[in-house]
């Protein structure tokens, strides 16, 4: 018996409240929901060390309706994110982001330059993803618009012009590769170092621009009507066009789908609900990031009943994240039975006052949220890291959870 206790020691070391963050080790899948208070950003470290950054927001609102910047406002969110990534990739002799990935083109996911934004060597402004690249190299960008940025109509505002100037300069000077996400495929985002060592790891592309994987082979179907058949005001919104992927490691599955909606507004056409076709192909998962920050138009009952997440993560930056009804659905035993733990990166007091006791059920409501999946994928933990400084002290550990 004592031998087993000894074997368990290294895995348990550091994953204790008050201890410093235990470094990533080969075979582990880490999913960090980074809290800057200014929008979404997640770092994934795959079992062979391949790294992926999903979004790098620099937007949202300022307090009191928006959350406060974390750790503080002395640096931009992109710089904080880059510093976080460098720290978590400290095991790597030459840390870099192998895959940069934007779920969609909104400032709380990619960053919008403002009056005070600095200008990069390449002549573009730095904010969000373009600021991240100032501090750590990005090798490949994946988004929903490359190469023409024309869907559903030409994307030509100041933020997009700046982003495209960034892509062009990084491509010419740093060899940046750029791709559009191809729904249905499982060979676009792959292990780059030791793929043969982890054959049960997969990233499946689920959706982009309303093109959704059917669950069969690499087949997809179009959720949206043809653009030429729609009036401009009927076009799919930026949120509806969000990219979605499923990350699988053995029995463990994780879903992340940007700001896709699933609860239609009154009178809106059926195709405005993107969650339903997505849920049909994704199936059950262990952990899921809430779509659209848990806003009232997300997490419909069919979507929740299909994914049945054991762990749900809410990336919050506003006083309406999450919606009261959304939290009610999430905790509903009628929608899906069994236990579930819900974690939020932030929570505003105003939302606490409105929602009340349902919000008191959150397991955590402040800090970076890390899903650490054990080698092979059969079990995982959720670790909350202090976001007030760069000490990355462990605030709390939940689990282990069994993958199903
Ligand atoms: Zn958003």
What's the structural domain count of the chain? 1
- The CATH number given to whatever domain includes residue 278 is 3.60.15.10
Q: What residues are paired with 397 via a beta bridge? A: 383
Residue 189 lies in a domain: yes
Say how many Å lie between the CA of residue 37 and the centre of ligand 1.
Answer: 12
Distance 184 CA to ligand 1 centre (A): 24
**Other CB atoms within 10 A of residue 177 CB:** 12
In a domain, 381, yes or no: yes
Whole-number Å distance, alpha carbon 236 to ligand 1 midpoint, is 16
Residue 289 CA, ligand 1 centroid: distance in Å: 12
Q: What does the pLDDT average to over 368-387?
A: 98
pTM comes to 0.96
DSSP 216: S
The pLDDT tens digits of the residues spanning 301-346 come to 999 999 999 999 999 999 999 999 999 999 999 999 999 999 999 9
Residue 77 lies in a domain: yes
Q: How close is the Cα of 271 to the center of ligand 1, in Å?
A: 20
Does 267 reside within a domain? yes
14 confidence band (pLDDT: 50, 70, 90): low
- State in Å: Cα 258 to ligand 1 middle: 7
CA–centroid distance, residue 292 to ligand 1 (Å): 5
Write down the residue that tokens 């060597």 correspond to: 121
Give the Å distance between the CA of 197 and the centre of ligand 1.
35
Q: Which of 315, 308, 392, 380 is nearest to 347 (CA)?
A: 315
Q: Is residue 336 part of a domain?
A: yes
Q: Give the torsion sign (CA, 28, 83, 187, 371).
A: positive
12 located within any domain: no
Distance 136 CA to ligand 1 centre (A): 24
- CA 2 to centroid of ligand 1, rounded, Å: 49
Q: Tell me whether residue 1 is in a domain.
A: no
Residues facing residue 203 across a β-bridge: 247
Give the Å distance between the CA of 106 and the centre of ligand 1: 7
Between the CA of 25 and the centroid of ligand 1 the distance, in Å, is: 31
Do 145 and 105 meet the contact criterion of CB atoms below 8 Å apart? yes
Mean pLDDT of the chain: 95
Q: Express each pLDDT in 163-177 by its tens digit.
A: 999 999 999 999 999
Q: How far is the CA of 200 from the centre of ligand 1 (A)?
A: 31
Q: How far is the CA of 40 from the centre of ligand 1 (A)?
A: 7
Residues ≥6 apart with Cβ < 8 Å to 284: 253, 306, 307, 308, 404
Q: Which residues pair with 311 in a beta bridge?
A: 287, 341
pLDDT of residue 62: 85
Q: Is residue 14 part of a domain?
A: no
Q: How far is the CA of 320 from the centre of ligand 1 (A)?
A: 12
Ligand 1 midpoint to CA 64 (Å): 18
| Containing structural domain, residue 107 | 26-402
């Amino acid at each position: 018996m004592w031998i087993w206790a000894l074997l368990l020691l290294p895995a348990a070391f550091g994953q204790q409240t008050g201890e410093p963050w235990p470094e990533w080790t080969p075979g582990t899948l880490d999913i960090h929901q980074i809290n800057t208070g200014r929008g979404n950003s997640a770092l994934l470290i795959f079992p062979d060390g391949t790294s992926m950054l999903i979004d790098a927001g620099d937007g949202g609102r300022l307090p009191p309706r928006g959350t406060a910047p974390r750790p503080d406002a002395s640096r931009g969110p992109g710089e904080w994110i880059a510093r976080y990534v460098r720290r978590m990739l400290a095991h790597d002799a030459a840390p870099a982001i192998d895959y940069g990935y934007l779920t969609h083109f909104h400032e709380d996911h990619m960053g919008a330059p403002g009056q005070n934004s600095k200008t990069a060597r390449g002549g573009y402004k730095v904010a969000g993803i373009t600021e991240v690249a100032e501090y750590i190299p990005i090798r490949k960008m994946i988004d929903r618009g490359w190469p023409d940025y024309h869907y559903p109509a030409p994307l030509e505002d100041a933020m997009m012009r700046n982003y495209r100037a960034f892509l062009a300069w990084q491509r010419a000077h740093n060899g940046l590769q750029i791709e559009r996400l191809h729904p249905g495929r499982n060979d676009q985002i792959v292990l780059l170092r030791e793929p043969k060592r982890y054959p049960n790891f997969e990233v499946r592309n689920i959706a982009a621009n309303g093109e959704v994987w059917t669950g069969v082979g690499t087949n997809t179907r179009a959720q949206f009507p043809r653009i030429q058949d729609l009036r401009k005001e009927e076009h799919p919104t930026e949120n509806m066009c969000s990219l979605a992927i499923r990350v699988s490691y053995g029995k463990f599955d994780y879903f992340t789908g940007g700001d896709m909606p699933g609860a239609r507004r009154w009178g809106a056409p059926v195709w405005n609900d993107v969650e339903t076709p997505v849920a049909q192909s994704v199936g059950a998962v262990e952990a899921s990031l809430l779509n659209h920050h848990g806003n009232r138009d997300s997490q419909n009952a069919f979507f929740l009943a299909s994914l049945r997440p054991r762990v749900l993560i809410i990336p919050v930056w506003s006083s309406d994240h999450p919606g009261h009804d959304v939290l009610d659905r999430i905790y509903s035993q009628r929608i899906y039975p069994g236990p579930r733990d819900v974690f939020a990166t932030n929570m505003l007091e105003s939302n606490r006052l409105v929602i009340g006791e349902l919000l008191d059920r959150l397991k955590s409501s402040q800090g970076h949220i890390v899903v650490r999946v054990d080698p092979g994928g059969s079990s995982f933990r959720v670790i909350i890291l202090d976001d007030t400084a760069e000490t990355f002290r462990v605030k709390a550990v939940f689990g282990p959870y069994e993958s199903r």
